[in-house]
């Protein structure tokens, strides 16, 4: 009851009947706000008629814009807004409409306003609110105002959008031309960007290969060149390229730093070797000076021999220590061996003299000259060496000492005595006590031998120098006393020290003993010497187990050195024919390192094994030098081969490949002698750079030609894209374009070429399909021209089937039929002479219909599946040699239709409609 009352007293615009609501729309007063609200509600009514009536009364676009998107009235609202804003209805001013358009967000409404607005500014305002590129392309192609078209085209920026504008904007050639120009610029920019990226990728690949390459003289220069090339590129790298670049640079810098560290280590080793050479040379000079000083003396005493032995022992130890680190030069080794041999001759002569000293004394006492002569011959005292006192007495005995001395000999002895006095004074000034003491003793003996022939001034000078020597001795004793006390306390404390390791204890003990011995006899006393010796013995007892282990280790090191020498001697006895000097250098360096690690060795065998290793190393170095010279000759041959390649007429790429093989051969050869390797490499690298420069020039030329072919291909694509065949006879134009495209191959690789190939394939496929469709249409048109002949045959068939005589249908004069159609016409006339059964003719017509259905529609009904299968088998069998085109198949089906007969009128009337429909479908068949 309440619902009924609501309906009775409700306003008419809320009536449930749509007709009543439509009538109520006209009665609403727009000046009243409630009526306007009612109209807005009716504008969203469920009935389209009511909505249309209500929207026709509303003329406020702002209220309509607020209603957009509500209810089911979107289409009517959009249409009404379009009419109001476009100026088709209403009386809104242009400025108000433009302001409203600038607030719209509906893409479809804005697009329609662009097309249908009554003012250019209004359309431009709507265009400014459009964001979709699809809508912009539509405005650029279809808008009726040129300014709007140009503004819309200016906002299309994508490559696909510009391509569509270039193809579809046929209404405005300026838009089409501008789109094509911008598209070409965009593609050129893309190609340039791709080329820059490809260049950057190539530089990255070169830099990464360089980072894994071994060191060569121009490694750093090549790395800096690649860095400059990278920095010179205009485009910005991405994060991945930047990371790869920094990683490769770090690896290259590590190779350079490793080489520099190796070079510094080599320089340090060379400096150490030079220091060792200088130290060895100083040792040899000291030994030679000692021998020379001994040879200048008038008399050789036991003290001189003992001093020379001690000096030789110290020098030999130092020489061996230096030789363990660095091998001596051959000439320096020869000098050292000569000095050692001289010492050995003197030492052995002194031993022979000591062995026969008692016999010489007895022979001198007995006056047995024959015995003296035999003993002097057995002693074999070296020539040029001053004799010992006992030997001098024996010689004087044999030389008749009672005879006066030769005046010249006395003069020479006196001159030598004066020179020795000068040397003694120099030694005293330097504070060299030991040398001065030995020389003073020798001068005293020489003064006794000269007796009264020695001038008084020289004798007085000898006494003065002797006093200075005694003063120096007293001063040494005064200074050495506290030093001896200090050394004694230090060695006794060291003997009690239990925390030191054995090596440190031995090193400290040796240092204290050396300093004690260096004091000589200065401030010496028995008690201190005994205490020092006792403390030293305790340390020796404590170090005995450690020294035993050290001796065992020395024996192991000796065995290692002997085995190393055996291996190297075996290598030197049978060297390889093509021994790599770098491998030999590595063997040399490793042998040197192994020799250094196998240290120390027993002292009595250190010199022998050291000499053996020195000879082996010199022989190995000679072999290395020999192989290095052979490598240098081979590398010179390689340089000549590269120079010959430069003079030959051959492709640059083939020449570069040959040079790469020669470079690989260069790397396999190893290094030439130092100094030659750098010069050879610079010459070889310069020639190789010329070869690669010519290859790069040829590549640039090929790239230029490829770009020209690419541009020609682009022009061909544009030309073929703009060409549309008008008939099947235009197939020659397509074949010519395909031949022209084949002549432009090969095209350079890249995204642009791939895009061009895809576009070319699509265009060629579309044009072939259009030509095929045109050929089918032409074939159907020719069939329609044959319709009078077919109707004549149908009439003759009807007469024959009605019982009349068979009648031949004559060929028309126009149109002129092809030979196969003439043959089909003859077969149709012959078929009326001996007609087939109705079932056979019906089956043949059904086959024609099914075949046409396959060509036109692509499918048939289920009842015709057996015929479809049979036709498809026949098509496969007939197309084994060559696949027929669609037009040829249509021609064959129509030929079979002309030859099929006689056809009853009822059968033909049943099939002709479907046949006509299929033929009509063939003429409007879209491209597959």
For the segment 85-117, what is each residue's pLDDT rounded down to a tens digit?
666 566 666 777 777 777 777 777 777 777 777
Q: How far apart are CA 673 and CA 769, in angstroms?
A: 74
pLDDT score at 211: 83
- Give the tens place of pLDDT for each residue, 617-666: 888 888 888 888 888 888 888 888 888 888 888 888 888 888 888 888 88
- Band of residue 557 on the pLDDT scale cut at 50, 70, 90: confident
pLDDT score for 6: 41
Buried b (16+ CB within 10 A) or exposed e, 265-296: eeeeeeeeeeebbeebeebbebbeebbebbee
Q: Which span out of 77-81, 231-235, 570-574, 880-884 was modeled with the highest average pLDDT?
A: 570-574
How many Å apart are CA 156 and CA 720, to the nearest integer? Answer: 25
Tens digit of pLDDT for each residue in 240-274?
Answer: 888 888 888 888 888 888 888 887 877 777 777 77
Burial 569-579 (b: 16+ CB within 10 A, else e): eebeeeeeeeb
604-617, pLDDT tens digit by residue?
A: 788 788 888 888 88
Three-state SS at 143: coil
**pTM of the prediction?**
0.40
Compute how many other C-beta atoms are within 10 angstroms of the C-beta atom of residue 364: 18
- Whether residue 433 is predicted with pLDDT greater than 60 in this model: the reply is yes
pLDDT value of residue 248? 87
Which token pair is 545? 């187990």
Residues 3-40 pLDDT 10s: 433 444 355 555 555 655 555 555 554 555 555 555 55
The two tokens of residue 628 are: 């290095």
Helix (H) or strand (E) holding 642: helix 603-647
**Taking Cα atoms as reference points, which of 481, 469, 467, 466 lies closest to residue 431?**
469
Q: What is the pLDDT of residue 403?
A: 41
**pLDDT tier for residue 526 given thresholds of 50, 70 and 90:** confident
Residue 694's closest CA among 736, 654, 666? 654
Q: What is the predicted pLDDT for the residue at 17?
A: 54
Spatial contact of 132 and 94, defined as CB atoms under 8 Å apart: no
Tokens 């403390």 map to which residue? Answer: 535
pLDDT of residue 677: 82
Residue 879 has pLDDT above 60, yes or no: no
Q: Residue 577's pLDDT is what?
A: 65
Q: What is residue 46's DSSP assignment?
A: S
Residue 19 has what pLDDT?
57
Range with lowest mean pLDDT among 259-268, 311-320, 424-433, 871-880? 871-880
Q: What is the mean pLDDT of residues 187-199?
A: 77
Note the pLDDT tens digit of each residue in 766-823. 888 888 888 888 888 888 888 888 888 888 888 888 888 888 888 887 778 888 888 8
The DSSP symbol for 13 reads G
Sign of CA dihedral 870, 872, 877, 879: positive
Q: What is the mean pLDDT of residues 683-710?
A: 85
pLDDT score recorded for residue 7: 42
Q: What percent of the chain has pLDDT over 70?
A: 81
- State the DSSP string of 834-901: SPPPHHHHHHHHHHHHHHHHHHHTS---GGGHHHHHHHHHHHHHHTSSSPPPHHHHHHHHHHHHHH--
| DSSP result, 210-227 | HHHSPP-TTHHHHHHHHH
Q: What is the pLDDT of residue 44?
A: 55
Convert the pLDDT of each residue in 736-750 to its tens digit: 899 988 888 888 878
Residue in the block written with tokens 């030979």: 819
Q: Helix/strand/coil (H, E, C) string of 328-349?
A: CCHHHHHHHHHHHHHHHHHHHH
pLDDT of 122 over the 70 cut: yes
Q: Which residue has better confidence, 209 or 863?
A: 209
Q: pLDDT over 90 for what percent of the chain?
A: 0
Q: Which pLDDT score, from 0 to 100, does residue 414 have? A: 73
Q: Decide if 782 contacts 817 (C-beta within 8 A).
A: no
pLDDT, position 74: 54
As a whole number of angstroms, the distance between CA 470 and CA 436 comes to 11
Section 431-453 average pLDDT: 71
Per-residue pLDDT tens for 340-398? 888 788 888 888 877 777 777 777 777 777 777 777 777 777 876 777 777 777 777 67
Residue 4: predicted pLDDT: 36
Count of C-beta atoms within a 10 Å radius of residue 768: 16
Placement of tokens 């400025």 in the chain: 95
808-848 pLDDT per residue, tens: 888 887 778 888 888 888 888 888 887 788 788 888 888 88
Question: Averaged over 698-709, what is the pLDDT?
Answer: 84
Greater confidence (185 vs 857) lies with 185
Q: What angle do CA 570, 591, 573 make, to 5 degrees?
A: 15
* pLDDT at residue 404, as a whole number: 43
Region for residue 280 given its phi and psi (left: phi exceeds 0; alpha: psi -120 to 50; beta: otherwise): alpha
Give kind and range of the element (H or E) at residue 150: helix 146-154
> Do 677 and 671 contact (CB within 8 A), yes or no?
yes
C-alpha pair distances (Å), 664 with each of 143, 212, 604, 689: 68, 16, 51, 15
Neighbours of 250 (CB within 10 A): 11
Q: Residue 436 pLDDT > 60, yes or no?
A: yes
Query: Which pLDDT value is given to residue 845?
Result: 83
Structure tokens at 337: 């061996």
**Position of tokens 């994508």?**
158
Q: What is the mean pLDDT of residues 202-206?
A: 85
Is residue 401 scored above 50 in pLDDT?
A: no
**pLDDT score for 405:** 39
Choice between 296 and 635, residue whose per-residue pLDDT is larger: 635
Of 38-42, 128-132, 160-164, 458-462, the range with the lowest mean pLDDT is 38-42
**How many Cα atoms sit within 13 Å of 820 on the Cβ side?**
8
Band (882; pLDDT cuts 50, 70, 90):
low
850 Cβ partners below 8 Å, 6+ apart?
860, 864, 867, 868, 871
Angle at 856 between CA 851 and CA 858, to 5 degrees: 80
Could you give the CA distance from residue 556 to residue 594 in angstroms, rounded to a whole number?
A: 13
Q: Is the pLDDT of residue 716 over 70?
A: yes
- How many CB atoms sit inside 10 A of residue 653's CB? 13
Q: Is there a contact between 230 and 194 (Cβ–Cβ < 8 Å)?
A: no
Compute the mean pLDDT over every residue in the chain, rounded to the nearest whole number.
Answer: 77
């Amino acid at each position: 009851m309440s619902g009924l009352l609501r309906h009775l007293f409700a306003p008419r615009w809320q009536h449930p009947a749509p007709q009543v609501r439509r009538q109520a729309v006209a009665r609403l007063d727009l000046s009243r706000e409630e009526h306007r609200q009612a109209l807005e509600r009716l504008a969203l009514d469920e009935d389209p008629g009511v909505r249309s009536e209500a929207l026709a009364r509303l003329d406020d676009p702002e209220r309509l814009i607020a209603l957009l998107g509500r209810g089911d009235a979107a289409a009517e609202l959009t249409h009404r807004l379009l009419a109001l804003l476009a100026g088709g209805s209403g009386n809104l001013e242009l400025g108000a409409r433009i302001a409203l358009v600038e607030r719209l967000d509906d893409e479809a409404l804005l697009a329609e306003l662009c097309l249908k607005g009554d003012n250019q500014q209004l359309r431009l305002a709507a265009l400014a609110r459009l964001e979709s590129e699809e809508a912009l392309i539509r405005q650029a192609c279809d808008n009726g105002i040129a300014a709007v078209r140009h503004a819309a085209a200016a906002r299309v920026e994508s490559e696909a959008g510009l391509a569509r504008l270039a193809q579809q904007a046929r209404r405005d050639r300026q838009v089409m031309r501008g789109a094509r120009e911008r598209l070409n610029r965009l593609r050129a920019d893309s190609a340039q960007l791709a080329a820059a990226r490809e260049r950057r990728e190539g530089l990255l690949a070169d830099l990464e290969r360089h980072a894994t390459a071994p060191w060569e003289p121009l490694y750093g220069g090549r790395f800096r060149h690649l860095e400059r090339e990278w920095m010179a590129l205009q485009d910005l790298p991405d994060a991945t390229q930047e990371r790869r670049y920094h990683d490769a640079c770090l690896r290259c810098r590590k190779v350079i730093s490793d080489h520099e560290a190796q070079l510094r280590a080599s320089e340090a080793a060379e400096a150490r070797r030079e220091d060792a050479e200088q130290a060895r040379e100083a040792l040899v000079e000291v030994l030679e000076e000692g021998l020379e000083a001994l040879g200048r003396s008038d008399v050789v005493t036991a003290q001189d021999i003992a001093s020379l032995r001690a000096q030789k022992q110290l020098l030999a130890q130092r020489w061996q220590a230096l030789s363990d680190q660095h091998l001596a030069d051959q000439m320096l080794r020869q000098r050292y061996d000569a000095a050692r041999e001289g010492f050995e001759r003197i030492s052995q002569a002194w031993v022979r003299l000591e062995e026969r000293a008692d016999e010489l004394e007895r022979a001198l006492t007995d006056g047995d000259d024959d015995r003296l002569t035999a003993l002097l011959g057995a002693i074999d005292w070296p020539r040029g060496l001053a004799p010992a006192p006992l030997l001098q007495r024996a010689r004087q005995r044999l030389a008749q000492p009672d005879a006066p001395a030769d005046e010249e000999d006395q003069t020479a002895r006196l001159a030598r005595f004066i020179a020795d006095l000068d040397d003694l004074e120099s030694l005293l000034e330097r504070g060299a006590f030991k040398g001065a003491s030995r020389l003073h003793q020798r001068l005293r003996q020489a003064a006794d031998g000269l007796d009264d022939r020695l001038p008084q001034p020289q004798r007085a000078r000898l006494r003065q120098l002797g006093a200075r020597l005694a003063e120096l001795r007293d001063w040494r004793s005064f200074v050495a006393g506290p030093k001896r006390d200090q050394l004694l306390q230090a060695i006794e404390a060291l003997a009690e020290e239990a925390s030191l390791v054995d090596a440190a204890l031995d090193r400290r003990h040796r240092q204290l003993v050396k300093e004690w011995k260096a004091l000589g006899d200065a401030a010496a006393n028995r008690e201190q010497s005994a205490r020092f010796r006792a403390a030293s013995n305790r340390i020796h007892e404590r170090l005995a187990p450690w020294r035993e282990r050290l001796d065992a280790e020395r024996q192991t090191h000796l065995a290692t050195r002997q085995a190393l020498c055996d291996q190297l001697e075996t290598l030197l006895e049978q060297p390889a024919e093509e021994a790599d000097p770098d491998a030999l250098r590595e063997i040399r360096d490793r042998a040197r390192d192994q020799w250094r690690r196998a240290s120390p060795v027993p002292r009595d065998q250190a010199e022998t094994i050291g000499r053996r290793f020195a000879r082996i190393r010199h022989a190995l170095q000679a072999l290395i030098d020999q192989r290095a010279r052979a490598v240098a000759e081979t590398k010179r041959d390689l340089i000549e081969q590269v120079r010959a390649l430069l003079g030959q007429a051959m492709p640059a790429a083939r020449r570069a490949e040959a040079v790469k093989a020669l470079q690989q051969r260069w790397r396999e050869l190893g290094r030439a002698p130092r100094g030659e390797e750098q010069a050879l490499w610079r010459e070889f690298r310069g020639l190789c750079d010329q070869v690669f420069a010519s290859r790069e020039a040829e590549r640039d030329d090929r790239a230029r030609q490829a770009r020209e072919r690419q541009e020609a291909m682009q022009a061909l694509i544009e030309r073929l894209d703009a060409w549309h065949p008008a008939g099947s006879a235009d197939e020659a134009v397509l074949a010519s374009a395909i031949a022209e495209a084949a002549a432009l191959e090969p095209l350079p690789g890249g995204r642009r070429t791939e895009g061009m190939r895809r576009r070319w394939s699509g265009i060629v496929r579309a044009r072939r399909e259009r030509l095929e469709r045109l050929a089918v249409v032409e074939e159907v048109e020719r069939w329609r021209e044959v319709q009078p002949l077919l109707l004549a045959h149908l009439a003759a068939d009807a007469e024959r089937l009605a019982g009349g005589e068979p009648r031949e249908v004559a060929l028309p004069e126009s149109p002129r039929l092809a030979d196969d159609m003439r043959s089909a016409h003859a077969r149709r006339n012959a078929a009326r002479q001996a007609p087939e059964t109705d079932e056979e003719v019906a089956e043949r017509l059904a086959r024609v219909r099914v075949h046409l259905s396959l060509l036109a529609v692509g499918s048939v009904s289920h009842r015709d599946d057996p015929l479809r299968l049979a036709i498809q088998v026949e098509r496969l069998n007939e197309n084994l040699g060559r696949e027929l085109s669609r037009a040829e198949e249509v021609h064959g089906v129509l030929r079979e239709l002309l030859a099929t007969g006689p056809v009853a009128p009822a059968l033909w009337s049943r099939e002709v409609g479907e046949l006509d429909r299929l033929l009509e479908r063939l003429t409007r068949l879209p491209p597959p």
